[in-house]
Amino acid sequence: MNEQRKAIYEFTKGIIKENPVLVTLLGMCPTLAVTVLAENGIGMGLATTFVLVCSNAVISLLKNVIPKAVRLPCFIVIIAGFVTFIDFMMKGYLPQLHSALGVFLQLITVNCIILGRAEAFASRNSIGRSVLDGLGMGIGFTLALFAMGSVREILGLGSWFGMKIPYLCDNPMTIFIMPAGGFFVLGCLIALVNKIANRKPPVEISCANCPNASACKGQCKAEEGA
Does the footprint of another protein cover residue 210 (CB under 8 A)?
no
As a whole number of angstroms, the longest Cα–Cα distance in the chain is 63
Amino acid sitting at position 181: G
The 3 state secondary structure assigned to 38-104 is: HHHHHHHHHHHHHHHHHHHHHHHHCCCCCCHHHHHHHHHHHHHHHHHHHHHHHHHHCHHHHHHHCHH
Does the footprint of another protein cover residue 100 (CB under 8 A)?
yes
What string marks each residue from 57 to 76 as x (binds another protein by CB under 8 A) or -? -----x--xxx-xx--xx--
Does the footprint of another protein cover residue 30 (CB under 8 A)?
no
Nearest CA among 28, 21, 12, 26 for reference residue 193: 21
Closest CB to another protein among residues 84, 194:
84
Which one of the spans 119-127, 135-143, 172-180, 195-203 is the region binding another protein (CB under 8 A)? 172-180
216 C-beta neighbours (distance < 10 Å), count: 14
Does the footprint of another protein cover residue 202 (CB under 8 A)?
no
Does the footprint of another protein cover residue 174 (CB under 8 A)?
yes
196 three-class SS? helix
CB of 55 to another protein, least distance (A): 11
Residues in the chain: 226
Q: Which of residues 110-169 bind another protein (CB under 8 A)?
A: 153, 156-157
CB of 116 to another protein, least distance (A): 20
Nearest CA among 163, 159, 161, 191 for reference residue 176: 159
Number of residues this chain uses to bind another protein (CB under 8 A): 33
Q: How far is CA 88 from CA 58, 95, 98, 138, 156, in A?
A: 20, 10, 9, 20, 31
Closest CB to another protein among residues 25, 70:
70
What is the binding site for another protein (CB under 8 A)?
36-37, 62, 65-67, 69-70, 73-74, 77-78, 80-81, 84-85, 88-89, 91-93, 95-96, 99-100, 102, 153, 156-157, 172, 174, 177-178
